Amino acid sequence: MASEDVVGKTSATIANLAEEAKIASEGVKAPSRHALLSICKSLVAGGVAGGVSRTAVAPLERLKILLQVQNPHAIKYNGTIQGLKYIWRTEGFRGLFKGNGTNCARIVPNSAVKFFSYEEASKGILWFYRQQPGNEDAELTPVLRLGAGACAGIIAMSATYPMDLVRGRLTVQTDKSPSQYRGIAHALATVLREEGPRALYKGWLPSVIGVVPYVGLNFAVYESLKDWLIKTKPYGIAEDAELSVTTKLACGAAAGTVGQTVAYPLDVIRRRMQMVGWKHAASVVTADGKSALEYTGMVDAFRKTVRYEGFGALYKGLVPNSVKVVPSIAIAFVSYEVVKDLLGVEMRISD
């Protein structure tokens, strides 16, 4: 969900988030030329890492979206293994990666906006906090950074949301779809012409609402797990009050899984709202002529989904989404580190 794009959906690595927090906590000084160069290199590294990690788990991501939006009158995808086999059999190898190009294309602008927004939001929140009596010399706390991260996530997600809507539609269309989007630009132009500018932000509200529990739980679970491991030292995991990169990855994966599970129903609703109003929609949405449900808003989408498909429908696609968490985080982390080393940027991981 936003999750893919939030301070967390979203794909920022643990190291990148730590570095952003460090930069933001250094005060309101104007960045030097060296600092700007470092930021640019970090953005490049983050973009490459995001692209590599997304591509590696693209089949699972596509299957998740198909499970979320398929018409309940004609079920084609019944689970992770069956779904992947069905895509391979009906669409071939390329079918596993449909929509991935659009997903990767929005990484760079999303990362750039998120990085800049996080830094500026941190400065603004810290300035406001220091205006309160007794806080004149205060520094950024974990809670303040959490607020800045949520702000950055919402801003970045909003700025690139039309790309996410188009990505969702490109992902679910097949060769049997009545009408084909030929690419990102054609899809954007078609949606604007046939549905109007507001259609580019269908499902935006549940995405914004999902930022709070997703980011909050990510942060809380990750920090709590780290503290518990350092204090209890089970199986000798923590040595000298330090955790290995592998252990931090495991903590991050656990935090991401908890956060996305709680916020997942909002992601399902967002995807379903994105399909509303799509003329000549993909067959997986229309179910070969059987009309898909129309939603007047987020609450209506929740109500109709539960009424006609049951509560479990709010978690359709959760299994493939959870399966891709660990490899996605691991690949993003390793790719980020390798690219930063190639660019000559010193890795700084701070707790």
Concatenating the DSSP letter of every residue in 153-167 gives HHHHHHHTHHHHHHH
Q: Which residue bears the tokens 């303040």?
A: 144
User: What tokens appear for 25 in the block?
Assistant: 């906590």
Distance (Å, whole) CA 162 – CA 133: 42
Contacts of 163 (CB under 8 A, 6+ apart): 102, 105, 106, 109, 184
Mean pLDDT across 272-296: 75
Query: Which of 277 and 3 is assigned the larger pLDDT?
Result: 277
User: What tokens appear for 58 in the block?
Assistant: 């693209």
For residues 214 and 220, the answer to whether their CB atoms sit within 8 Å is no
pLDDT tens string 59-118: 999 999 999 998 888 788 988 999 999 999 999 999 999 989 888 888 778 777 877 787
Distance (Å, whole) CA 173 – CA 286: 11
For residues 13 and 46, the answer to whether their CB atoms sit within 8 Å is yes
Quick check: 348 pLDDT over 50? no
Tell me what percent of the chain is helix, strand and coil, each rounded to the nearest 5: 70, 0, 25
Q: How far is CA 202 from CA 105, 184, 191, 199, 269, in A?
A: 20, 17, 11, 5, 10
Phi-psi region of 22 (alpha: psi -120 to 50; beta: other; left: phi over 0): alpha
For residues 136 and 174, the answer to whether their CB atoms sit within 8 Å is no
Could you tell me the pLDDT band of residue 43, with boundaries at 50, 70 and 90?
A: confident
User: What tokens appear for 5 in the block?
Assistant: 């794009």
In three-state secondary structure terms, 72 is coil
CA 330 to chain centre: 15
Instruction: Give which of 141, 164, 148 is closest to 114, Cα–Cα.
Output: 148
Give 239's strand partners.
Answer: 242
Q: Delimit the domains of the chain by residue range.
A: 31-97+318-346, 99-172+175-202, 206-275+285-315
pLDDT tens string 173-196: 877 777 678 888 999 999 999 999
**Model-level pTM?**
0.76
pLDDT of residue 11: 40
